[in-house]
Chains A and B, each alone.
Chain A
Amino acid sequence: MTIDLTQFHDAFFEESLEALDSMEAALLKLDVGAPDKELINTIFRVAHSIKGGSATFGFSEIASFTHSLETLLDELRAGAMQVTMPMSDLLLKSVDVMREMLRSVQSKQPLNSQRVSDLQFDLEMMIAQKNAAPAAVPAASAAPAAPAAVPAAEVAPASPAPAATAPAASVAGPTASAAVAAPSAQASGWTMSFRPYPQLFARGNDPLRMLRELAELGTLEVTTSLAGLPSFAELDPQTCHLAWDLRLTGAIEEPAIRQVFDWTEGDCDLTLARFGADPAASAPAPAQASAAPAASVAAAAPRAAPAPTAAAPTAVPAAAAAPAASAAPATPASGDSGSIRVSVEKIDELMNTVGELVITQAMLSQLGSQVEGPTAEKLRSGLAQLERNMRELQESVMRVRMLPINVVFSRFPRMVRDLAQRLGKQIELKLTGEQTELDKTVLEKIGDPLVHLVRNSVDHGIEMPAVRTAAGKPASGTVHLDACHRGGNIAVEVSDDGGGLDKDRILAKARDRGLVGPNDVLSDEQVYDLIFMPGFSTAEKTTDVSGRGVGMDVVRRNVKELGGKIELRSERGRGSRCIITLPLTLAIVDGQSVSVGSETYIVPLISIVESMQLKASAVSRLSGHGEVFSFRGYYLPIVRLYEVFGVEPRTKKLDEGLIVVAEGEGHQRIGLFVDELLGQQQVVIKSLETNYGNVQGVSGATILGDGSVALILDIPGLIRALNMRSAA
């Protein structure tokens, strides 16, 4: 019987990639010259836990690389090296490489090992250059192409304890870190009781790794309990039977220790007690003992040790014991036990079921309204209650899928920093509304468009410092990313205080390319719209940042696919703003139901400008454009829905039906001719493409309360079809 460790790989990759994000964020906050100790610790811990995890899973290349990185970070942590700009760049590149390595291992793709070894060489060179403190891990021995996955503690000079009788050993940290930690509190530290549950190994945890990490925090004394160890024949090699009592001396904060045991939550009993610095708090609170019976039941462990649960011993407030912690941002390292990871498929399934329920409920409500008799009133009040509950359920499930837009925003500080550096510009990135929540699917698809927009702002928008100063603006430009709720939608805005769009140049370029006739007069909006045309770029020369003209049309297409809209505003010399309006979710749409003959169609509310009754006299015919009507100074084409879908309408006379003015992309409007308006409702979108096939002018379908199917209209699609017909 062997354990398949691959089952833990996904969790490792996911957590490591997240940890890299936080490492990157910390690196970006790191000030050259006067770095924040806590930030360095955060960065170090990430490298450290990825190293441990990758060694456990046998990803030797990652382990080897992170080992070099960790060595450098350890020097920083110990104050033996200073943070410089090249180092900060190198560390950021290391994040990229680690991300690449994790992804390539995850997807089982070959690794760009040249890039990895180059960077590893750079890291080691940087350590070697410093080379002042002989106490450090000998970099030279690790440098000449030694990708062996030997973790730090194992190369470090060993100091084995000669204890012949007692099973206790004292372990000093392999680097100077233990000595650095010592002076502030000579004889203070932590005692720990670490009692793994039998399944600890099977969950991919290795106590050896944890003890090694602890030994790096300070001086570790280990006492092993072999009481639970069965005879050789009875031993299940994959079950943990050992337990440890540990004494860790040094000025160590509780989160640092908790972090070591991060991945073992629920797989062990862990009690921490401080000694030395705070005698009052040296014993675990008695209240903890009451939790013991439950813990031992859950453990089903063969040993009887009634250890408290892994919950934090509340009697030891970390901040009180560590004055330095007060300045640090309060980030409880292992305090996220209140959340669970759930796969997206499961949530989608749940969402789908709720969608079906909504349809059933609508059907029942409709039936209920037709029932007569003594019980009818009761039935209807029950149905009303059902409807309320359904709405709550639906909202709850939708909330589960919501993530703060920060997930997307967080990639920009790094990107803007790198781009600005490359272009020689000074740019400050301002992020606001990061906590605005958005459906996960929408969130995933909005990332790329935002990258294009931010790149555009950095490359085309913000001017070079000299140009800015000459124009009386501060040398440093600002790019602002903002998200907020607006109506039932989310508005995401990318703005900059750069030069703004050059209308004349855009127009000239468009005339050059024949996109606009030489004598056409265009409104501002129409000129800005040109930017969204495929292949359009006004950048003077193509850089690797932007200017290939593949950006903005892709942006608009992506936004449109999400059912959103994009708007551009600009003021010459003052900057430009790009506003993306997105629906909260892709699963449900606010719709207006309209009837055409016996059919019902849903027009998304976001597309509707207004509804009106036309007088026959307001309609005229234009050759090549069919029927048009005058709407606020513009002539809009009329689309008779019964013609599009081949339905027999109640009336074919325009003044007997209604016109719904709907707007597609780029302010293109049309008048939809329908029989009548039925009502507004939220409808659950069912994909036509998945269940049937793509139909032009239809974005999906939904099931109505009476069980009939209604098509959801795709206004931009209808406009496209109309344009093609009139062009033909």
Chain B
Amino acid sequence: MKKPKKAASRTARKSPRSAGGAAAGSDPGPASFALPIDCMVADAAALKESLAGLVGDSRPVTLDVAALQRIDTAAMQLLTAFVRERDRKGLRVEWQGSAPALSNAARLLGLTSELKLPA
């Protein structure tokens, strides 16, 4: 939780879409978050900061992966922990858009079903 400001700006810089992507307000509509272009180990801390606000959100959370181009195991692990945590609380995660990088990584790492990705 150190340097939250820097972490947030990192994410925003990497992907213009993710700026304001996390719409975790109090309005009753679904919350959504756009994953940046790069979800690598170097970005993982920033990604966690962004997802931390959504993990307990009672609304369904949509993860938009349309911009995502590169993802590694560290980020996949983080997403898995995120989805599992929400699943344990009975909360849903929806995926929006398609990212070959994500589906391939999930397939190779054996995380497709754990992440509830469309097969």
Give residues in A with beta carbon < 8 Å to B: 1-5, 55-56, 58, 148-150, 153-156, 158-169, 171, 201-202, 206-209, 211-212, 215, 220, 222-224, 226, 229-233, 235, 237-238, 240-242, 244
In the complex, the answer to whether B110 meets A168 with C-beta atoms within 8 Å is yes
Chain B stretch 48-92: residues in CB contact (< 8 A) with chain A: 48, 51-52, 55, 69-78, 80-82, 84-85
In the complex, the answer to whether B110 meets A154 with C-beta atoms within 8 Å is no
What distance in Å separates the Cβ of B20 from its nearest Cβ neighbour in chain A?
22
Interface CB pairs A-B, < 8 A, 28: A2-B7, A5-B41, A55-B70, A149-B69, A149-B70, A153-B104, A154-B104, A158-B100, A159-B107, A162-B119, A165-B113, A167-B110, A167-B114, A169-B112, A171-B108, A201-B41, A201-B72, A201-B74, A206-B73, A207-B73, A208-B109, A224-B114, A226-B80, A233-B52, A237-B44, A237-B48, A237-B77, A244-B110
In the complex, the answer to whether A237 meets B47 with C-beta atoms within 8 Å is yes
In the complex, the answer to whether B41 meets A164 with C-beta atoms within 8 Å is no
Contact flag A229-B72 (CB < 8 Å), given A1-B2, A5-B41, A167-B113: no
Chain B residues closer than 8 Å to A207, beta-carbon distance: 73, 109
In the complex, the answer to whether A208 meets B73 with C-beta atoms within 8 Å is yes
In the complex, the answer to whether B113 meets A235 with C-beta atoms within 8 Å is no
What distance in Å separates the Cβ of B17 from its nearest Cβ neighbour in chain A?
18
In the complex, the answer to whether B82 meets A232 with C-beta atoms within 8 Å is yes
In the complex, the answer to whether A231 meets B74 with C-beta atoms within 8 Å is no
What distance in Å separates the Cβ of A469 from its nearest Cβ neighbour in chain B?
59
Chain B residues closer than 8 Å to A242, beta-carbon distance: 73, 77, 80, 109
Of the residues A3, A5, A229, contact of B84 by C-beta under 8 Å: A229
When C-beta atoms are compared, the residue in chain A nearest to B108 turns out to be A211
Chain B residues closer than 8 Å to A235, beta-carbon distance: 48, 77-78, 81
Contact flag A154-B100 (CB < 8 Å), given A2-B42, A232-B55, A240-B77: yes
In the complex, the answer to whether B77 meets A3 with C-beta atoms within 8 Å is no
In the complex, the answer to whether B112 meets A163 with C-beta atoms within 8 Å is yes
CA distance A167 to B48 in the complex (A): 24
Among A159, A164, A201, residue most surrounded by chain B Cβ atoms (within 10 Å): A201
Of the residues A5, A150, A158, contact of B107 by C-beta under 8 Å: A158
Contact flag A206-B41 (CB < 8 Å), given A201-B74, A237-B77: yes
Contact flag A169-B104 (CB < 8 Å), given A161-B119, A230-B81, A241-B77: no
In the complex, the answer to whether A158 meets B110 with C-beta atoms within 8 Å is no
CA distance A233 to B109 in the complex (A): 22
Q: Is B45 an interface residue (CB 8 A)?
A: yes
Among B55, B109, B114, residue most surrounded by chain A Cβ atoms (within 10 Å): B109
When C-beta atoms are compared, the residue in chain A nearest to B105 turns out to be A208
When C-beta atoms are compared, the residue in chain B nearest to A209 turns out to be B72
Q: Is B40 an interface residue (CB 8 A)?
A: yes
Among B7, B47, B73, residue most surrounded by chain A Cβ atoms (within 10 Å): B73
What distance in Å separates the Cβ of A144 from its nearest Cβ neighbour in chain B?
18
In the complex, the answer to whether A150 meets B81 with C-beta atoms within 8 Å is no
When C-beta atoms are compared, the residue in chain A nearest to B100 turns out to be A154
Q: Is B15 an interface residue (CB 8 A)?
A: no
CA distance A167 to B42 in the complex (A): 27
CA distance A208 to B113 in the complex (A): 17
Of the residues B46, B76, B100, B108, contact of A212 by C-beta under 8 Å: B108
In the complex, the answer to whether A237 meets B113 with C-beta atoms within 8 Å is no
What distance in Å separates the Cβ of A196 from its nearest Cβ neighbour in chain B?
9
Of the residues B74, B101, B103, B114, contact of A237 by C-beta under 8 Å: B74
CA distance A220 to B114 in the complex (A): 18
In the complex, the answer to whether A222 meets B103 with C-beta atoms within 8 Å is no
In the complex, the answer to whether A169 meets B110 with C-beta atoms within 8 Å is yes
Q: Is B111 an interface residue (CB 8 A)?
A: yes
What distance in Å separates the Cβ of B27 from its nearest Cβ neighbour in chain A?
23
In the complex, the answer to whether A226 meets B114 with C-beta atoms within 8 Å is yes
Name the 5 nearest CB pairs between A and B, nearest first: A237-B44, A222-B110, A224-B110, A232-B85, A162-B119
Chain A residues closer than 8 Å to B103, beta-carbon distance: 158, 160
CA distance A237 to B73 in the complex (A): 10
What distance in Å separates the Cβ of A478 from its nearest Cβ neighbour in chain B?
51
Chain B residues closer than 8 Å to A154, beta-carbon distance: 100-101, 104
In the complex, the answer to whether A155 meets B81 with C-beta atoms within 8 Å is no
CA distance A58 to B55 in the complex (A): 29
Chain B residues closer than 8 Å to A215, beta-carbon distance: 108
Chain A residues closer than 8 Å to B44, beta-carbon distance: 2, 237-238
Of the residues A4, A208, A231, contact of B81 by C-beta under 8 Å: A231
